[in-house]
């Protein structure tokens, strides 16, 4: 029975038109990255599990795709367990008889037997067995002192505790089964890359990466298990000019894509920390910001109720009142924040950083995007330490953020290289695709199809045509010949279905006169042309 074709949930096939449109976005972003001085790197599709695990929190760890070790590892595990069990079984019999025959202290007997038996000291199971037998000392003494118990009784009583003791713990078992995992994002592999290659890198280091990532998430609309990320980061500099350049980079990409009406929202982690400090909720920073982030979704009163339920005092919430009505220009909001955060050193520092960035952007200007201060923006709060970015699509498109990023002060600390400050942004390729599609912004030429199809009348005509096709290709024209000398109607239908604009017919007359009959498929017009005229008409 034939197998029904399918692909794993959360993955996609892309047809030629979709691939062409995706490459259009890729190339636009890549060109902007390189124009701004970012250098490309690539990291493996999979990393050592220990590189990824523990870097994304419990939820993130659960979404990491683990790769099974190659080889017959399950049989190896079972053989190891059986071997350890049999060895411990034999040792228990030996020890039971020995302890009956001597009057030494229990632990002395145990050490003596372990040292002289076939368990090497380096073997971790040697220590495990010793811990187990010391823990169960009273049971051993009771059994050994009772003549009604046999060695077999002893083994049966200890088999459960032995099995539990000698079963691999979850971490060890995970390592034995899977030592590698598909990368979850591009940031942690980048941190690993920087530390591993620090002696080869010139800092500040500006890198970009456009590669797929994998997450064992529940597939749903707009959320996939395999998708691309387009990241750019600068590490080794804490200069705010980097944030300014990233705002210009966003503007350059969206201007090149002809996507107008994009809003780049900005906030600063220090401002959020300062607000929490002012209202006496520094120990509830996450709870406070999660609630504040819902202001535009559930409204002021619901936000206040949620904050109260999380233990933030009414007095503290009352101090937030000016924040709920914060509006106006970037500059006017900055002035209001200075009043609200006048007693917070951290908050004032955040205001100073935002004011610097806004002043620079005001002077330099943005072509098609708008910079907006949003004090409720709190993405990546456990990660970012300074500026926080989030990019919103034009208002008439209902979709989530199409980009984001921020400043972090210790990207490489998880790999033993502390205090490496950096800032980075990411573009949401799939959502940008959907926005461009909805607004009909993909150029008509993005799907560069075959421009000329030569009709195949037979081997002599095909050879003559292929010489012309070679010249056309050298001139930058996409051209091909129909592979079989099929009926004319079939070949013409093929050209129509593929939206090929020109068809060339070469028969005996054309070969004798060294000309070509060119047919425009839309108008139906056809005329004889030289090769030079053919090239000029189809280019």
pLDDT digit string (tens) for 476-522?
999 999 999 999 999 999 999 999 999 999 999 999 999 999 999 99
Q: Is 183 helix (H, G, I), strand (E, B) or coil?
A: coil
* Among the ranges given (141-155, 311-325, 431-445), the one the predictor scored with the smallest mean pLDDT: 141-155
Q: Is 185 annotated as a binding residue?
A: yes
Q: Is 209 annotated as a binding residue?
A: no
Q: Going by DSSP bridges, is the β-strand pair 39-40/369-373 parallel, antiparallel, or unpaired?
A: unpaired
Rounded Cα gap, residues 498 and 194, in angstroms = 47
pLDDT at 16: 92
Structure token pair of residue 303: 């936000």
pLDDT at 27: 97
pLDDT mean across residues, the chain? 87
Q: In the predicted model, what is the mean pLDDT of residues 452-467?
A: 97
What confidence tier does 459 reach under pLDDT thresholds 50, 70, 90?
Answer: very high
Q: Is 101 annotated as a binding residue?
A: no
The DSSP bridge partners found for residue 267 are 388
The DSSP bridge partners found for residue 408 are 422
pLDDT at 80: 56
The H or E element that residue 23 is part of is helix 16-35
Burial of 70 (0-12, 13-18, 19+ CB in 10 A): exposed
Task: Note the maximum CA span of the chain.
Answer: 116
> Over 60: is that where the pLDDT of 58 sits?
yes
Structure token pair of residue 394: 């034009």
Contact 320, 281 (CB under 8 A): no
> Over 60: is that where the pLDDT of 152 sits?
no
> Over 90: is that where the pLDDT of 107 sits?
no
> Over 70: is that where the pLDDT of 73 sits?
no
pLDDT: is 381 or 194 the higher one?
194
> Over 90: is that where the pLDDT of 247 sits?
yes
Structure token pair of residue 108: 């002395």
pLDDT at 452: 97
CA-based R_g, the chain, Å: 35
pLDDT digits (tens, 9 = 90+) for 413-422: 989 999 899 9
Structure token pair of residue 141: 């003494």
The H or E element that residue 160 is part of is helix 151-166
* Among the ranges given (13-22, 125-134, 198-207, 332-341), the one the predictor scored with the smallest mean pLDDT: 125-134
Q: Is 187 annotated as a binding residue?
A: yes
Phi-psi bin for 84: left (phi > 0), alpha (psi -120 to 50), beta? alpha
Q: Is 384 annotated as a binding residue?
A: yes
pLDDT at 164: 44
pLDDT: is 141 or 356 the higher one?
356
**430: how many CB neighbours lie within 10 A of its CB?**
17
Rounded Cα gap, residues 287 and 200, in angstroms = 42
Q: Is 517 helix (H, G, I), strand (E, B) or coil?
A: strand
pLDDT at 493: 97
Q: Going by DSSP bridges, is the β-strand pair 479-481/452-454 parallel, antiparallel, or unpaired?
A: parallel
pLDDT: is 83 or 60 the higher one?
60
What confidence tier does 160 reach under pLDDT thresholds 50, 70, 90?
Answer: very low
**CA neighbours closer than 13 Å in the CB half-sphere of residue 141:** 11
- What is residue 266's DSSP assignment? E
The CA-to-CA distance between both ends of the chain, in Å, stands at 50
**Best-predicted range by mean pLDDT (65-74, 126-135, 195-204, 278-287):** 195-204
**34: how many CB neighbours lie within 10 A of its CB?**
12
Contact 203, 419 (CB under 8 A): no
What confidence tier does 448 reach under pLDDT thresholds 50, 70, 90?
Answer: confident
Residue of 215, 167, 199 whose CA lies nearest to 63: 215
User: Cα 410 to the chain's mean position, in Å?
Assistant: 19
pLDDT: is 122 or 442 the higher one?
442
Q: In the predicted model, what is the mean pLDDT of residues 446-475?
A: 95
Model pTM?
0.79
Q: In the predicted model, what is the mean pLDDT of residues 105-115?
A: 75
**CA neighbours closer than 13 Å in the CB half-sphere of residue 166:** 25
Q: φ and ψ at 129, to 5 degrees?
A: -65, -40
The DSSP bridge partners found for residue 518 are 504, 527
Q: Is 14 helix (H, G, I), strand (E, B) or coil?
A: coil
Q: In the predicted model, what is the mean pLDDT of residues 261-269?
A: 96
pLDDT: is 37 or 110 the higher one?
37
> Over 70: is that where the pLDDT of 51 sits?
yes
**30: how many CB neighbours lie within 10 A of its CB?**
17
The DSSP bridge partners found for residue 517 are 505, 528
Q: In the predicted model, what is the mean pLDDT of residues 246-256?
A: 98
Give the helix ranges, DSSP H, for 328-422: 330-340, 345-364
**531: how many CB neighbours lie within 10 A of its CB?**
15
Interior/surface letters 477-491, b for 16+ CB within 10 angstroms, e for the rest: bebbbbeeeeeeeeb
Can you spell out the DSSP letters for 189-220? Answer: HHHHHHHHTTTTPPSSEEEEEEEEEE--PPPB
**Best-predicted range by mean pLDDT (67-71, 156-160, 327-331):** 327-331
> Over 90: is that where the pLDDT of 33 sits?
yes
**195: how many CB neighbours lie within 10 A of its CB?**
17
> Over 50: is that where the pLDDT of 411 sits?
yes
Contact 258, 28 (CB under 8 A): no
Q: In the predicted model, what is the mean pLDDT of residues 7-35?
A: 96
Rounded Cα gap, residues 212 and 10, in angstroms = 13
Q: Is 445 annotated as a binding residue?
A: no
What confidence tier does 14 reach under pLDDT thresholds 50, 70, 90?
Answer: very high
Rounded Cα gap, residues 351 and 353, in angstroms = 5
Q: Is 156 annotated as a binding residue?
A: no
pLDDT at 168: 47
Q: In the predicted model, what is the mean pLDDT of residues 396-414?
A: 90
What confidence tier does 121 reach under pLDDT thresholds 50, 70, 90?
Answer: very low
Structure token pair of residue 485: 């000398």
What confidence tier does 149 reach under pLDDT thresholds 50, 70, 90?
Answer: low
* Among the ranges given (4-8, 321-325, 379-383), the one the predictor scored with the smallest mean pLDDT: 379-383
Residue of 296, 265, 439, 443 whose CA lies nearest to 369: 265
pLDDT: is 511 or 289 the higher one?
511
């Amino acid at each position: 029975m034939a197998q029904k074709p399918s692909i794993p949930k959360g993955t996609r096939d892309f047809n030629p038109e979709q691939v062409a449109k995706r490459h259009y976005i890729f190339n636009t972003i890549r060109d902007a990255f390189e124009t701004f001085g970012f250098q490309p790197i690539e990291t493996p599709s999979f990393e050592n599990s220990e590189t990824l695990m523990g870097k994304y929190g419990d939820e993130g760890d659960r979404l990491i795709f683990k790769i099974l070790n190659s080889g017959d590892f399950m049989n190896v595990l079972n053989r190891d367990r059986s071997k350890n069990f049999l060895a411990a079984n034999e040792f228990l019999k030996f020890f039971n008889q020995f302890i009956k025959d001597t009057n030494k202290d229990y632990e002395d007997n145990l050490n003596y037997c372990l040292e002289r038996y076939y368990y090497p000291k380096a073997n971790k199971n040697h220590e495990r067995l010793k811990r187990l037998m010391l823990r169960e000392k009273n049971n051993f003494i009771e059994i050994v002192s009772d003549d009604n118990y046999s060695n077999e009784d002893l083994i049966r009583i200890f088999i459960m505790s032995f099995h539990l003791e000698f079963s691999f713990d979850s971490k060890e078992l995970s390592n034995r089964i899977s030592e590698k995992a598909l990368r979850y994002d591009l940031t942690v592999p980048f941190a690993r890359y920087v530390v591993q290659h620090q002696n080869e890198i010139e800092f500040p280091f500006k890198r970009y990466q456009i590669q797929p990532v994998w997450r064992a998430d529940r597939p749903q609309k707009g959320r996939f298990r395999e998708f691309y990320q387009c990241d750019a980061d600068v590490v080794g500099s804490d200069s705010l000019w980097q944030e300014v350049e990233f705002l210009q980079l966003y503007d350059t990409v969206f201007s090149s894509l002809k996507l107008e009406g994009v809003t780049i929202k900005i906030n600063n982690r220090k401002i959020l920390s300062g607000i929490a400090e002012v209202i006496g909720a520094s120990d509830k920073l996450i709870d406070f910001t999660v609630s504040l982030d819902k202001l535009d979704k559930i409204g002021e009163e619901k936000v206040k109720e949620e904050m109260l339920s999380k233990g933030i005092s009414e007095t503290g919430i009352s101090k937030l009142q000016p924040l709920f009505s914060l509006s106006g220009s970037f500059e006017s909001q900055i002035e209001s924040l200075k009043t609200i955060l006048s007693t917070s050193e951290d908050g004032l520092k955040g205001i100073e950083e935002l004011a610097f960035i806004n002043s620079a952007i005001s002077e330099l200007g943005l072509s098609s995007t708008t910079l907006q201060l949003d004090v409720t923006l709190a993405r990546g709060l456990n990660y970012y330490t300074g500026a926080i970015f989030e990019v919103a699509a034009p208002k008439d498109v209902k979709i989530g953020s199409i980009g984001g990023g921020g400043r972090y002060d210790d990207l490489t600390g998880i790999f033993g290289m502390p205090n490496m400050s950096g800032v980075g942004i990411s573009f949401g390729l799939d959502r940008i695709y959907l926005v461009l599609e909805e607004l009909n912004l993909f150029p008509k030429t993005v799907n560069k199809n075959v421009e000329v199809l030569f009709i195949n009348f037979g081997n002599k005509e095909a050879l003559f045509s292929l010489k012309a096709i070679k010249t056309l290709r050298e001139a930058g024209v996409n051209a091909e010949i129909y592979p079989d000398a099929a009926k004319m109607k079939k070949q013409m239908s093929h050209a129509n279905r593929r939206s090929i604009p020109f068809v060339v017919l070469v028969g005996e007359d054309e070969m004798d006169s060294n000309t070509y009959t060119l047919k425009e498929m839309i108008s139906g017009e056809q005329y004889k042309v030289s090769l030079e005229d053919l090239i000029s008409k189809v280019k």
